[in-house]
Structures are given as C-alpha cells and as structure tokens.
Amino acid sequence: MKVLLASHNKGKIAELQALMHTISPEIEVLSMSDIGFYEEIVEDGSSFADNALIKSRTGARLGYITVADDSGLMVDALDGTPGVYSARYAGEECDTEKNNKKLLQALHGLPAEQRTAKFVSVVACSFPDGREDIVVRGECPGCILTEYRGTGGFGYDPLFWYEPMQKSFAEMSQAEKNQISHRGKAMLKFAEEFAKIKF
Ligand code: IMP
C-alpha cells in the first residue's frame, strides 16, 4: 500500500517516515516530491486540525491515501503562541534561527518555572475514496531553555527541554524523540485507528 506524506519539511518527513515504518513495513511512503508535487499548500486554518486536514485532503484529491501532520509550539507565558504560526513566528521571510531568536527574546528574563510549554501535533489522514478522515492529537510537555542545547532535530528542538529524559529534543536520537514526542504520540494513536480500517 502506498501512503503519501503531505509535507515539504525534511525534518518532519524523516520522522513521519520512521513512524509510518513502525506501523507497517509494508507501507510504501511517498513524499510530495516523489509524486512531482512542488506547490506550496496554503495553511490558513485557525487550528492544527484545520491545517492538517487542508494538507491531507490535498493529497487525497490527487488520488493518494494521505497523512499530514500540523504541529507547533505553545508557550504558556505567551498565551499559547506561536501555536499554528510556529513555522513563521518571526514573519513570512523567517527561518529557524530567526524563530528561535525571537522566542528567546520573548521569554528573556523569565525564570524556569514560567518557561513551560508544550509541543502539539495533529495527524490527519484522508482517503481518495471519500471515507471518513482520521484526526488524532498528541502533546509533549516541556520548557524553553535560555540557550541552545544539542545539534539534532529541527525547528525549536534545541530550545525545548524534556525533563523526564534530562535532554533537549536536539540532544535525542530520532528513536528517543519519536518515543515521547507530540508527533510520536499522535502517530501511535493514528496507527491504532488506521489498523481498524478495512481496505
Ligand atoms: P507545520 O509544518 O505548519 O506543521 O509547522 C510546524 C512548525 O512547528 C515547524 O516548522 C517548527 O517550527 C515547529 N515544530 C513542530 N514540531 C516540531 C518539533 O518536533 N521540533 C521542533 N519544532 C517543531
């Protein structure tokens, strides 16, 4: 069976590919570039679920069973922002470094107990035959460091401290991160729902 991952984010594709493989090694995972789709999908929904469904339904319209994740960082001291705007927190022309710098500045001077945050991931799956979408959510609590730690991962990983492992997300191996991350948890729920489907 072929499943399309509707994302252009290389870090996310690598994580989702590994997670799909744990669901079933028989699933052949395709990326948007594998099918020659290079357009930007406009994610203008107001929630993670809206945006995940915009992406998964785009793939389903192209004829593929399509999985998409919409995710982001919600910082308590910033009233849950950047949230759905995590990818473009520092503006339309931003990059990871600008986003991370803006986050450090926004929390400048705040003590550890006021730096709590969570990563959220909503995974959606849509089907070309019109059957009902699957939508599941995973969360991972942590707090925002005052300086970068680690070189792995992507996005806000070097600033996200995960207390139970005493590591930032950027200090974890991909397998460690997938075990406890928001996306890993959402994908586990997704696997349970996907396994119930009769094809
Ligand atoms: P999306 O591609 O619209 O879902 O954007 C999600 C954004 O949230 C990414 O570009 C990152 O900035 C951030 N993000 C989501 N998940 C993670 C993660 O696991 N580590 C670091 N940053 C993440």
**What pLDDT shows up at residue 70?**
95
Note the pLDDT of residue 10.
83
List the domain boundaries for the chain: 2-195
Q: Which atom of ligand 1 is found nearest the CA of 177?
A: 19
Q: Is 85 in the pocket of ligand 1 (CB under 6 A)?
A: no
pLDDT given for residue 168 in this prediction: 98
The mean pLDDT values, 10 residues at a time, for the chain of 199 residues are 89 82 86 93 95 97 96 98 96 93 98 98 96 97 98 97 98 94 94 87
Residue 16, pLDDT score: 82
CATH code of the region 2-195: 3.90.950.10
Centre of ligand 1 to C-alpha 119, Å, is 8
C-alpha dihedral sign at 173, 190, 63, 88:
negative
Inter-helix orientation angle 10-23/182-195, to 10°: 40
Instruction: Give the number of the atom of ligand 1 that is nearest the alpha carbon of residue 153.
Output: 20
> In which region does residue 129 sit, left (phi positive, over 0), alpha (psi from -120 to 50) or beta (all else)?
alpha
* pLDDT computed for residue 125 by the predictor: 97
Task: Please tell me if the CB atom of residue 9 comes closer than 6 angstroms to any atom of ligand 1.
Answer: yes
Residue having the nearest C-alpha atom to atom 7 of ligand 1:
87
pTM of the model: 0.93
